[in-house]
Amino acid sequence: MNRKQSLRQAFILACAFQFSFFIFSATAQVTIGSDAAPNAGALLDLKENADGTSSKGFNLPKVFLVSLTSLQPCLTAAEEAAPGAKALHKGLQVYNTNPALAEGVTTWDGSSWSHTAVPKVVNTLTIPKVSFVANEVVTVGTLALEPGAYICDIEYAIKWADETATEKYTSFCLRYAATNTNILLTENRAVGGEVTWLTASRIFFLENTTDVKFLYYNMRDGELFGAGKVKLVKLY
């Protein structure tokens, strides 16, 4: 190969490099799923059709998280311990498959994982109309609940038999069915001799699938009116 041919090949390679650099620079925004151009505000645009519609979804990587405050196994212990590593991964998103940490779409906020599932009502129990004696416990119902965080909203009406009673407290509790220990306990004061509507709202978390029972307790004789409700909303 003479000098002239060598120079020609070098020139071609240089042009090819420049062209490839231009191509990569021009395609910093990418469409996956079709040949349509990405939307102007998207670095990565997933779509099958030019109008943005698709018949398929985006499948997040499924990761068995070990802790809500650790990036492992996405990072090794050494990588996670590096300065700034946790903050650098803010916005990282996976589908957590560890049921003990509540399975579902999970996002790293820089210091911990948070769930992004839409809250949903999982059950509503009706509180029956019953007459009760002092210190009697009335079971409203029993449910099997999956792991996760819940809001328990309670509303009910009560009337004490003794209008002059000084102790006018009423309680509603949620207990583990197996151990009969409280998960949450509400306490309200009702006015003697009047029908009083009482409400309470509490948040609680279950680590495992659990049978829970809803109990009602009064310190005085009286009547629990119907139409009360216990509503459970699962946050994640």
Looking at the chain, list the stretches that DSSP marks H as alpha helix, in order from N- to C-terminal side.
Answer: 3-26, 77-81, 85-88
Three-state DSSP class for residue 17: helix
- Span 55-70, average pLDDT: 92
95, exposed or middle or buried, with CB in 10 Å at 0-12, 13-18, 19+? middle
Q: What is the pTM of this model?
A: 0.50
- Tell me what pLDDT residue 6 has: 56
Does 21 score more than 60 pLDDT?
A: no
- Tell me what pLDDT residue 12 has: 54
- Span 41-62, average pLDDT: 88
Please report the domains of the chain, with CATH numbers, ordered by start residue.
3-46 (no CATH), 62-115 (no CATH), 120-234 (2.60.120.660)
Does 191 score more than 80 pLDDT?
A: no
- Lowest mean pLDDT segment, chosen from 7-21, 73-87, 129-143: 7-21
Residue 174 C-alpha from the chain's centroid: 21
Let me know: does 104 contact 96? Beta carbons within 8 Å. Answer: yes
**Strand ranges inside 162-221, DSSP E:** 169-176, 182-189, 196-206, 210-218
Rounded percentage of the chain residues whose pLDDT exceeds 70: 72
Q: What's the pLDDT tens digit per position in 148-186?
A: 888 888 887 777 666 665 556 667 778 888 888 888 777
Distance between CA atoms of residues 150 and 147, nearest Å = 9
Does 62 score more than 90 pLDDT?
A: yes
